[in-house]
Chains A and B, each alone.
Chain A
Amino acid sequence: MFNDHGHLNRRRFLGGFAFTSGAIATGVGSWVLRPEWANAAAAPIKVGIATDLTGPIAYAGNADANVAKMVIKEINDSGGLLGRPLELFIEDTASNESVAVGNVRKLIQRDKVDLVLGGITSSMRNAIKDPIVARGKTLYIYPQLYEGKECTPYLFCTGPTPAQQCDEFIPWLIKNGGKKFALPSANYVWPHTLNVYARKVIEANGGEVVFEEYYPLDQVDFSSTVNRIISNKVDVVFNTVIPPGVGPFFKQLYEAGFLKGGGRLACVYYDENTLNINQANEIEGLASCLDYFKTLTKDDPVSAKIQAAYEKDYPGNFLFAAGSAATGTYRGLKLWAEAVKEANSVEREAVAAALDHAKIAEGPGGPAEMVPGKRHCKMKMYTAVAKGGNYEIVGRSDGLVDPKEC
C-alpha cells in the first residue's frame, strides 16, 4: 500500500488538546471520541468524519477535524442528541482517493456510522460519495466551497457555491480591479466548472476573459503564465491554482511586478490559513469572497463566541477559517443535529427529510438555511481584501444568499 501520500495519522494531540472526556484510541485504527457519560443503556449515535489529515491541504483537514470534535463535545456536554451520546470516528483521506475510499469503507462497514461528513476537494468528494451514499446507504454532508452541480440524493452541501461566490464578488472586482481577467487554474473539476460560471458573470458585467489555462496539480514553475499575464496587461487574476502550486505562482507573479503595476489577485478559497503560504507583500490586495472571516468577530457576537471557543480548545496552526471547510463543517453538524431532533431518529430517510429544510439561527458569519428540495444552503457572504497580512471586509451581502443549485 504505497501511495503518494502514505496513510498517516497526524499527531493531532499537539497543540493543547483540552478534552477531559474519555478520548480513547481504541486500537481499531480510526480516532474515536466517546463521552464520559456514555453507558450501555443509550446506544451512541455515530458520526464519521473523513478528511485530509495529511497531504497538501492538511491545514484544512485538521481544522475540520478539530471543529467536529468541538461541536460533538458541545452537543455531548448538553446531554447528547435524543438522550443518546454522540461518538465521533475520524479517518484520514490523505489527499489520496484510493486510500480515502478504503478508510471510508471502514467508517461505513466496520464502524457503521450514521452520518459521514467530509471530503474537501471535489475529486475527494467524487471518490467517496459512492461508497457512502450508494453502496453504503448513509447520509453524506459535504462542507466545502465547490463548483456546484452536486445533486445526488442524500448528499447535502453546506459550503458556498459559485453563485454565492461570484454573483456579488465579480462586479466588485470589475469596479475595484479592472475589466481584463485571467483564469489560471488547477486541472481538476472545481476550477473547470467554476470558471464556466465565472466567465458568464464576468462577461455579463462588461469584463473580458483574456485567457483560461489549466495546470497539473504539482506544477511549481509558472514563468510562461506570468509572462502572459504581464504582457497582456491583465487587471484581475482570478486564480484557482491550489497548493502546492499557488505559493510559487503568487511569488513569481509578484517578482514580475504584477502588483506594482496595479494588478489585483482574486482567489475564492483564500482564507486565514492560506495567508501564511506567501509573504504578506506578495499577496497585498488579494480579494476573496467567503461565508466567514475572522475579522467579523469584531462586530458579530455569535462569530466571536464560536471563534473563541475554537481557539481555546485548539490554539495552534490549524485555524478556524471558511476556505478550509471549517465553517461548513460547523454549519453541517449543527444543521444535522437540528434535523435529528426534528426527525426524532437517526434513520437516513427521516433525517434527510428533516435536513431538507433545516435552519440554524447561530452560525459562523450568520444564520444558515437549507433550501428545500435543493440540498444546498443559504448563507451570508462577505468580500474581503488582504492588507498587511490580515483581512479587511469590504462588502457584505444584504441577507442570506441563494446557492442557486439543482
Chain B
Amino acid sequence: MASAFAAAFEILSFGAIIVLVVLGLGIIASMMGIFNFAQGEFVLLGAYITYLAHSRGLPVWAGMAAAPFLVGALGFVLEALIIRRFYAAPIVAMLGTYALGLIIRESVRGLIGGLYLSVPEPIGGSIDLGSVHVSAWRFVIVVITLLVMVGCYLLLSRTSFGLRIRATLENPALARASGISTASMYGTTFAFGAALAGLAGALLVPVFSLFADLGIRFLIQGFVAVMVGGVGSFIGPVAGAAVIGTLSAALPWVMAPVVADILVFVLAIVFIKFRPQGLMSGKGV
C-alpha cells in the first residue's frame, strides 16, 4: 500500500513538472498558432537565472521568484522584435524559434562552461508519512503547479483581461474589429508563455541540475503533449501534458525504461493520427 502511494506521488509529481513546462507552450500554440521551438530554452533560462542567484550568494528562492519575470520580459522583447514576423508562416516560425533557441542554448553553454551544476532546493529533505518518504521539494512543485493552473484559469475566466485573451483566441478578426489590440495580446501571451517556462525551469533545477541541453528533452515531450491535448484551448495542453507526463512516469514501473521511453511517443502519434483534434477540441478555455 505504501509503495503504491509512493508510486502515485512520484507519477503525480513528474506529471506536474511536465504540465508546468507545457502550459506555456500550449498557450502560445493555441493563441498564435505557432510552435515555439525555443520554449525549452526558456526553461533553461529560468534554471540558469536561479543558479546565477545562488552562485552570487542570494537565496535560491529569490532566484526562483525572479526567473519568471525576467524570462517573461525577455519573451516580450523577442516577440516584438522577431516572433512577430512569423505569424504568417507557422513552419518558418518553428525554424526561426529553433534558431533563437540555438542562440540561447549556446550562450548559456558558453556561460556555464559546458559543465553540470547543481543547485540546492530551498526546502529540502523529505516528508515522512508513516513508512512512506516523499520528497519535500517535489511536493512543493506539485502545489505550485496547482496554484499556477488555478490562477491561470481564474485569470482567463474571471478577469476582463482574460476575457480579451479568450476573445482573441476564439476569433482574432472579430476581436480586432471590436477594438482589442491583438498585437499587444500576442505580445502579452508570448511573454506569459515564456514566464511559465521560466518558472518551470526555476522550480526544476534542484531536481535535474543545470546543464545546457536541459531544454531539448522537454521540447519533444512538450510538442507531443500539446498535440495530444489539442491546440486551441487552455485546458487542452494541460490535459495532454498530464497524460504524457503520467504515462512517462508510470510506464517504467511496469516495463524496461527504454521501451517505456519510446512507447509513450508511439502511442501519442497513433492517437493523434486517429484523433487529430486531440483530447479536448474546441477553442477558448
Contact = CB atoms under 8 A, between A and B. Distances in A.
When A and B assemble into the complex, do they touch directly, with CB atoms less than 8 Å apart? yes
A181 to B, nearest CB: 20
B248 to A, nearest CB: 9
B14 A221 contact: yes
A128 interface: no
A10 B106 CA distance: 13
Given A55-B114, A255-B135, A227 B7 contact: yes
A56 B208 CA distance: 13
B114 A223 contact: no
B266 interface: no
Contacts of A221: 10, 14, 249
Interface string A209-224: 0000111101111011
A320 to B, nearest CB: 18
Contacts of B126: 255-257
A358 B95 CA distance: 56
B216 A4 contact: yes
A interface, over-half SS: loop
B114 A248 contact: no
Contacts of B212: 5-6
Main DSSP-derived SS at the B contact region? helix
Contacts of B114: 5-6, 8, 10, 53-55, 58, 94
- For chain A, the bracket of interface size reads 35 or more
A216 B217 CA distance: 12
A56 B109 contact: no
A53 B109 CA distance: 12
B59 interface: no
A244 interface: yes
Nearest to B260: A224
Contacts, number: 91
Contact of A187 (B102, B133, B209, B258): B258
A382 B7 CA distance: 39
B133 A257 contact: yes
B170 interface: no
B102 A2 contact: yes
A213 B133 contact: no
Interface string A54-95: 111011000000000000000000000000000000000010
A257 B2 CA distance: 14
B109 A247 contact: no
A256 B133 contact: yes
A214 B255 CA distance: 12
Interface in B1-22: 3, 6-7, 10-11, 14
A277 interface: yes
Contacts of B208: 220, 244, 248
Nearest to B126: A255
A248 B208 CA distance: 7
Contact of B253 (A56, A213, A224): A224
Instruction: Determine which residue in A214, A216, A223 has the highest number of CB atoms from chain B within 10 A of its CB, and name it.
Output: A223
Contacts of B257: 213-216, 219, 224
Interface stretch (B26-34, B47-55, B115-123, B236-244): B115-123
B6 A244 contact: no
Identify which of B7, B118, B258 gathers the most chain A CB atoms within 10 Å of its CB. Answer: B118
Contact of B115 (A58, A213, A214, A248): A58
B6 A227 contact: yes
B115 A247 contact: no
Contacts of A110: none
Contacts of A220: 207-209
Contact of B106 (A6, A11, A213, A214): A6
Instruction: Tell which of A54, A94, A278 has the most Cβ of chain B within 10 Å.
Output: A54
B179 interface: no
Interface in A1-52: 2, 4-6, 8, 10-11
B61 to A, nearest CB: 18
B282 interface: no
A152 interface: no
A278 B133 CA distance: 19
Interface in B252-267: 252-253, 256-258, 261
Nearest to A59: B115
B3 A227 contact: yes
A11 B135 contact: no
Nearest to A279: B120
Contacts of B11: 223
Interface string A232-267: 000000000001100110001001110000000000
B213 A4 contact: yes
Contacts of B7: 223-224, 227
A56 B211 contact: yes
A11 B113 CA distance: 8
Contacts of B258: 187, 214-216
Contacts of B217: 218
A273 to B, nearest CB: 11
A128 B213 CA distance: 24
A223 B10 contact: yes
A257 B130 CA distance: 12
Contact of A277 (B6, B118, B135, B252): B118
B127 to A, nearest CB: 10
Given A213-B257, A243-B116, 19 more contacts: A4-B216, A5-B114, A8-B110, A10-B113, A54-B113, A55-B114, A59-B115, A213-B256, A214-B257, A216-B257, A218-B217, A219-B257, A223-B11, A224-B257, A244-B116, A244-B209, A247-B209, A255-B125, A278-B118
Interface of A: 2, 4-6, 8, 10-11, 53-56, 58-59, 94, 187, 213-216, 218-221, 223-224, 227, 231, 243-244, 247-248, 252, 255-257, 277-279
Interface of B: 3, 6-7, 10-11, 14, 102, 106, 109-110, 113-116, 118, 120, 125-126, 133, 135, 207-209, 211-213, 216-217, 249, 252-253, 256-258, 261
29 contacts: A5-B114, A5-B212, A5-B213, A6-B114, A8-B109, A11-B113, A54-B113, A54-B114, A56-B211, A58-B113, A58-B115, A187-B258, A215-B257, A216-B257, A216-B261, A218-B213, A220-B208, A223-B11, A223-B14, A224-B10, A224-B253, A227-B7, A244-B116, A247-B118, A248-B208, A252-B135, A257-B126, A257-B133, A279-B120
